[in-house]
């Protein structure tokens, strides 16, 4: 008896669910009948960006540190080579310490720029920049260079570069490394760094002069700058 009552109730529900509601068809909209869209560019229609002065000099979201995969790709693009070596060392060997998750013990990537990250990035910057700079010193075709693409085809004494050439070199590389060109007083500061380094290298007695270290110095400084590791 109970089963019969349940079946009847189910049938009643099903028939109610299947019955069509009486909906009136809506005519397609005609021109001029659409709701007007507010102009987002009108003052008062949108939330203005926060005042940087009231935000500690910054706006928008918090900067984030690059993940290991992003760092790998960024080094390749900026310096022109991956951080691999010497030996089995390199970004792959140190990925876990740099924060990559192994999904066994660590389930999420750690993007904290802690001491170990700073140390290992410094190691990687020095290795990749010095290796790349060594290659670029001997490369006469500027289009095949990465760091020194703006320098003349053959260059020796870097003191002989004009101020404009040095500035072009630094602006090019800062754009390459950070996505924003050096300018103003900061550019002047970096010009000073380049000039001092170029002068120092020429005073060394080594033969040939380790001029590649000037390129490497700028490369290391830019690669270990907070602007390189954040986005």
Q: Which residues bind another protein (CB under 8 A)?
A: 52, 56-58, 62-65, 96-97, 99, 105-106, 110-120, 122-123, 126-127, 130, 180, 185-186, 189-190, 193, 196-197, 200-201, 204, 210, 213-214, 216-217, 220-221, 224-227, 229-230
Peptide bond into 169 cis (omega under 30): no
From the CB of 215, what's the least distance to another protein, in Å?
A: 11
Quick one: 24 or 61, whose CB is closer to another protein?
A: 61
The torsion angle over the Cα atoms of residues 148, 152, 155 and 159, rounded to 10 degrees, is: -90
Quick one: 142 or 210, whose CB is closer to another protein?
A: 210
Quick one: 77 or 199, whose CB is closer to another protein?
A: 199
From the CB of 206, what's the least distance to another protein, in Å?
A: 9
Quick one: 142 or 172, whose CB is closer to another protein?
A: 172
From the CB of 177, what's the least distance to another protein, in Å?
A: 13
Backbone φ and ψ for 130, nearest 5 degrees, come out as -65, -40
Quick one: 161 or 217, whose CB is closer to another protein?
A: 217
Give the ranges where 110-225 is alpha helix by DSSP (H). 115-138, 163-178, 184-203, 212-223
From the CB of 11, what's the least distance to another protein, in Å?
A: 47
Do residues 66 and 78 lie in contact, with contact meaning Cβ atoms separated by under 8 Å? no
From the CB of 46, what's the least distance to another protein, in Å?
A: 23
Burial, 53: exposed, middle or buried (Cβ in 10 Å; 0-12, 13-18, 19+)?
exposed
First to last CA, the chain: 71
From the CB of 58, what's the least distance to another protein, in Å?
A: 5
Quick one: 161 or 201, whose CB is closer to another protein?
A: 201
Give, to the nearest 10 degrees, the angle between helix 184-203 and helix 212-223: 140
Best CA proximity match to 148, nearest among 164, 132, 160, 162: 132
Residue at token pair 């792959």 = 92
């Amino acid at each position: 008896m109970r089963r019969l009552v349940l079946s009847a109730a189910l049938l009643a529900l099903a028939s109610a669910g299947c019955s069509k509601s009486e909906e009136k068809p809506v005519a397609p909209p005609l021109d001029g009948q659409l709701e007007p869209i507010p102009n987002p560019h009108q003052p008062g229609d949108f939330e203005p960006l926060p005042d940087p002065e009231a935000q500690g000099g910054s706006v928008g979201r918090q900067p984030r540190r690059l993940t290991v995969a992003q760092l790998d790709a960024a080094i390749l693009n900026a310096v022109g080579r991956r951080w691999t070596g010497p030996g089995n060392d390199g970004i792959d060997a140190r990925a876990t310490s740099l924060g990559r998750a192994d999904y066994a013990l660590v389930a999420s990537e750690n993007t904290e720029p802690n001491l170990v990250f700073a140390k290992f990035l410094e190691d990687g910057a020095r290795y990749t920049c010095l290796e790349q700079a060594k290659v670029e010193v001997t490369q006469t075709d500027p289009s095949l260079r990465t760091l020194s693409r703006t320098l003349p085809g053959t260059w020796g004494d870097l003191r002989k570069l004009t101020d404009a050439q040095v500035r072009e070199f630094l602006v090019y590389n800062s754009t390459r490394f950070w996505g924003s060109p050096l300018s103003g007083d900061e550019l002047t500061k970096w010009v000073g760094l380049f000039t001092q380094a170029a002068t120092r290298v020429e005073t060394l007695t080594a033969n040939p002069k380790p001029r590649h270290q000037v390129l490497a110095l700028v490369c290391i400084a830019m690669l270990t700058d907070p602007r390189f590791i954040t986005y």
